Structure 1
Amino acid sequence: MTADTALTTPDCLLTLAVPAALEEDVLDLLRTLPHMAPGFTLVPAQGMGAHIHLASSMEQVQGRARRVLVQLAIVQTQVEPLIDALRKALPTPQIAYWAAPLLAFGRLGSLS
Protein backbone atom coordinates (compact mmCIF):
# COMPACT_ATOMS: atom_id res chain seq x y z
CA MET A 1 0.00 0.00 0.00
CA THR A 2 1.41 3.39 -0.97
CA ALA A 3 1.26 6.51 1.19
CA ASP A 4 -1.33 7.99 -1.22
CA THR A 5 -3.53 4.91 -0.90
CA ALA A 6 -3.23 4.95 2.89
CA LEU A 7 -4.47 8.54 2.95
CA THR A 8 -7.57 7.78 0.90
CA THR A 9 -8.49 4.31 2.19
CA PRO A 10 -11.55 4.63 4.45
CA ASP A 11 -10.75 3.91 8.08
CA CYS A 12 -14.01 5.01 9.71
CA LEU A 13 -17.65 4.01 9.39
CA LEU A 14 -19.93 6.99 9.97
CA THR A 15 -23.59 6.18 10.51
CA LEU A 16 -26.39 8.75 10.47
CA ALA A 17 -29.79 7.75 11.88
CA VAL A 18 -32.20 9.94 9.93
CA PRO A 19 -35.98 10.31 10.35
CA ALA A 20 -37.88 9.31 7.22
CA ALA A 21 -39.13 12.90 6.83
CA LEU A 22 -35.55 14.19 6.50
CA GLU A 23 -34.15 11.41 4.32
CA GLU A 24 -34.26 13.32 1.02
CA ASP A 25 -32.83 16.47 2.60
CA VAL A 26 -29.84 14.52 3.96
CA LEU A 27 -29.30 12.63 0.70
CA ASP A 28 -29.49 15.85 -1.34
CA LEU A 29 -26.93 17.47 0.94
CA LEU A 30 -24.56 14.49 0.80
CA ARG A 31 -24.75 14.54 -3.00
CA THR A 32 -23.44 18.12 -2.93
CA LEU A 33 -20.41 17.02 -0.89
CA PRO A 34 -18.75 14.30 -3.01
CA HIS A 35 -15.30 15.24 -1.68
CA MET A 36 -16.44 14.29 1.85
CA ALA A 37 -19.14 11.73 1.04
CA PRO A 38 -18.06 9.93 -2.14
CA GLY A 39 -20.62 7.18 -1.61
CA PHE A 40 -22.98 5.82 1.00
CA THR A 41 -25.35 2.99 1.80
CA LEU A 42 -28.95 3.30 3.00
CA VAL A 43 -30.46 0.80 5.42
CA PRO A 44 -34.12 0.93 6.52
CA ALA A 45 -34.42 1.04 10.32
CA GLN A 46 -36.72 1.87 13.21
CA GLY A 47 -35.85 4.02 16.19
CA MET A 48 -37.04 3.62 19.75
CA GLY A 49 -36.21 5.54 22.90
CA ALA A 50 -36.84 8.64 24.95
CA HIS A 51 -35.50 11.06 22.33
CA ILE A 52 -37.32 9.61 19.32
CA HIS A 53 -40.01 11.84 17.82
CA LEU A 54 -43.03 9.74 16.80
CA ALA A 55 -44.40 11.67 13.81
CA SER A 56 -47.39 9.64 12.68
CA SER A 57 -50.31 7.97 14.44
CA MET A 58 -48.93 4.57 13.41
CA GLU A 59 -45.54 5.36 14.95
CA GLN A 60 -47.25 6.48 18.16
CA VAL A 61 -49.21 3.21 18.34
CA GLN A 62 -46.12 1.10 17.59
CA GLY A 63 -43.84 3.15 19.83
CA ARG A 64 -41.12 3.32 17.18
CA ALA A 65 -40.24 5.69 14.37
CA ARG A 66 -39.21 5.00 10.78
CA ARG A 67 -35.56 5.81 10.18
CA VAL A 68 -32.97 5.30 7.51
CA LEU A 69 -29.38 4.58 8.44
CA VAL A 70 -26.97 6.32 6.10
CA GLN A 71 -23.58 4.62 6.31
CA LEU A 72 -20.43 6.17 4.91
CA ALA A 73 -17.00 4.53 4.77
CA ILE A 74 -14.74 7.58 4.96
CA VAL A 75 -11.38 8.77 6.19
CA GLN A 76 -11.61 9.59 9.90
CA THR A 77 -10.33 13.14 9.38
CA GLN A 78 -13.44 13.85 7.27
CA VAL A 79 -15.91 12.93 10.03
CA GLU A 80 -15.94 16.28 11.86
CA PRO A 81 -16.03 18.45 8.70
CA LEU A 82 -18.90 16.36 7.35
CA ILE A 83 -20.82 16.49 10.65
CA ASP A 84 -20.26 20.27 10.77
CA ALA A 85 -21.67 20.67 7.25
CA LEU A 86 -24.69 18.54 8.14
CA ARG A 87 -25.22 20.42 11.41
CA LYS A 88 -25.16 23.81 9.62
CA ALA A 89 -27.65 22.68 6.96
CA LEU A 90 -29.92 20.57 9.19
CA PRO A 91 -29.63 21.67 12.84
CA THR A 92 -32.04 19.12 14.32
CA PRO A 93 -31.68 16.82 17.33
CA GLN A 94 -33.65 14.19 15.39
CA ILE A 95 -30.57 13.14 13.39
CA ALA A 96 -28.17 11.04 15.46
CA TYR A 97 -24.73 9.91 14.35
CA TRP A 98 -21.90 7.69 15.48
CA ALA A 99 -18.49 6.81 14.12
CA ALA A 100 -16.61 3.56 14.53
CA PRO A 101 -13.22 2.32 13.35
CA LEU A 102 -13.33 0.53 10.02
CA LEU A 103 -10.91 -2.38 10.16
CA ALA A 104 -10.97 -3.17 6.45
CA PHE A 105 -12.38 -1.76 3.25
CA GLY A 106 -12.09 -3.03 -0.27
CA ARG A 107 -13.84 -4.43 -3.31
CA LEU A 108 -14.10 -8.01 -4.45
CA GLY A 109 -13.21 -7.10 -8.02
CA SER A 110 -11.90 -4.20 -10.06
CA LEU A 111 -14.05 -1.24 -11.02
CA SER A 112 -14.61 -0.88 -14.76
Structure 2
Amino acid sequence: MKHIYIISILFLFMACSNSKPKKQTVELSCGQCQFGLTSQKGCDLAVRINEKAYFVDGADIDEFGDAHDENSGFCEVIRKAEVEGELINNRFKVTTVKLLD
Protein backbone atom coordinates (compact mmCIF):
# COMPACT_ATOMS: atom_id res chain seq x y z
CA MET A 1 0.00 0.00 0.00
CA LYS A 2 2.85 2.35 0.82
CA HIS A 3 4.33 1.87 -2.68
CA ILE A 4 1.01 2.70 -4.37
CA TYR A 5 0.81 5.94 -2.39
CA ILE A 6 4.36 6.95 -3.37
CA ILE A 7 3.77 6.09 -7.03
CA SER A 8 0.52 8.06 -7.05
CA ILE A 9 2.26 11.14 -5.64
CA LEU A 10 5.04 10.77 -8.21
CA PHE A 11 2.55 10.66 -11.11
CA LEU A 12 0.68 13.66 -9.73
CA PHE A 13 3.91 15.63 -9.43
CA MET A 14 4.93 14.75 -12.99
CA ALA A 15 1.53 15.77 -14.36
CA CYS A 16 1.68 19.14 -12.62
CA SER A 17 5.29 19.94 -13.48
CA ASN A 18 4.78 19.28 -17.21
CA SER A 19 1.95 21.78 -17.57
CA LYS A 20 2.59 24.18 -20.44
CA PRO A 21 1.05 27.63 -20.83
CA LYS A 22 -1.79 27.44 -23.33
CA LYS A 23 -1.84 29.28 -26.63
CA GLN A 24 -4.45 31.96 -26.93
CA THR A 25 -5.35 34.76 -29.30
CA VAL A 26 -5.21 38.20 -27.69
CA GLU A 27 -5.16 41.87 -28.54
CA LEU A 28 -1.62 43.24 -28.27
CA SER A 29 -0.73 46.93 -28.12
CA CYS A 30 0.70 49.75 -26.04
CA GLY A 31 -0.78 49.59 -22.56
CA GLN A 32 -0.72 53.36 -22.09
CA CYS A 33 -1.65 54.60 -25.59
CA GLN A 34 -4.30 52.05 -26.55
CA PHE A 35 -5.51 50.29 -23.39
CA GLY A 36 -5.50 53.23 -20.95
CA LEU A 37 -3.21 51.62 -18.36
CA THR A 38 -1.63 54.19 -16.05
CA SER A 39 0.43 52.24 -13.50
CA GLN A 40 3.65 52.71 -15.54
CA LYS A 41 5.10 55.71 -17.35
CA GLY A 42 6.13 55.61 -20.99
CA CYS A 43 5.06 53.10 -23.62
CA ASP A 44 4.98 49.43 -22.68
CA LEU A 45 3.59 46.31 -24.33
CA ALA A 46 0.30 44.98 -23.00
CA VAL A 47 -2.26 42.31 -23.81
CA ARG A 48 -6.03 42.53 -23.55
CA ILE A 49 -7.77 39.31 -22.59
CA ASN A 50 -11.54 39.22 -22.03
CA GLU A 51 -11.77 43.03 -22.04
CA LYS A 52 -9.06 43.42 -19.34
CA ALA A 53 -5.54 44.70 -20.11
CA TYR A 54 -2.29 43.54 -18.50
CA PHE A 55 1.28 44.70 -18.96
CA VAL A 56 3.56 42.07 -20.52
CA ASP A 57 6.77 40.66 -19.07
CA GLY A 58 9.03 38.68 -21.40
CA ALA A 59 8.63 40.81 -24.56
CA ASP A 60 9.38 44.46 -25.27
CA ILE A 61 7.30 46.88 -27.33
CA ASP A 62 10.34 47.69 -29.51
CA GLU A 63 10.93 44.04 -30.52
CA PHE A 64 8.19 44.39 -33.15
CA GLY A 65 9.35 47.47 -35.03
CA ASP A 66 8.66 51.17 -34.52
CA ALA A 67 5.98 51.47 -31.84
CA HIS A 68 4.87 54.80 -33.36
CA ASP A 69 4.53 53.67 -36.99
CA GLU A 70 1.07 54.89 -38.01
CA ASN A 71 0.12 51.64 -39.78
CA SER A 72 1.55 48.93 -37.54
CA GLY A 73 3.01 50.49 -34.38
CA PHE A 74 1.59 49.38 -31.06
CA CYS A 75 1.12 52.98 -29.92
CA GLU A 76 -1.09 53.58 -32.96
CA VAL A 77 -2.99 50.32 -33.55
CA ILE A 78 -4.21 47.26 -31.66
CA ARG A 79 -2.97 44.05 -33.25
CA LYS A 80 -4.00 40.41 -32.90
CA ALA A 81 -1.42 37.92 -31.69
CA GLU A 82 -1.16 34.31 -30.65
CA VAL A 83 0.67 34.12 -27.34
CA GLU A 84 1.72 31.55 -24.79
CA GLY A 85 2.02 32.64 -21.21
CA GLU A 86 0.18 33.06 -17.96
CA LEU A 87 -1.14 35.72 -15.63
CA ILE A 88 0.99 36.10 -12.53
CA ASN A 89 0.46 38.94 -10.05
CA ASN A 90 -1.74 40.90 -12.48
CA ARG A 91 0.92 40.81 -15.23
CA PHE A 92 1.09 38.58 -18.30
CA LYS A 93 4.30 36.52 -18.35
CA VAL A 94 4.71 35.71 -22.04
CA THR A 95 6.87 32.91 -23.45
CA THR A 96 6.01 33.23 -27.15
CA VAL A 97 4.39 35.90 -29.32
CA LYS A 98 3.27 35.42 -32.93
CA LEU A 99 1.64 38.40 -34.64
CA LEU A 100 -1.40 37.40 -36.70
CA ASP A 101 -1.74 40.52 -38.85
Q: Point out the structure with the larger helix share.
A: 1
Q: Point out the structure with the larger strand share.
A: 2
- TM-score of the pair, normalised by structure 1: 0.27
Higher relative contact order (CA 8 A, sep 6+): 1
Q: Which has the larger radius of gyration?
A: 2
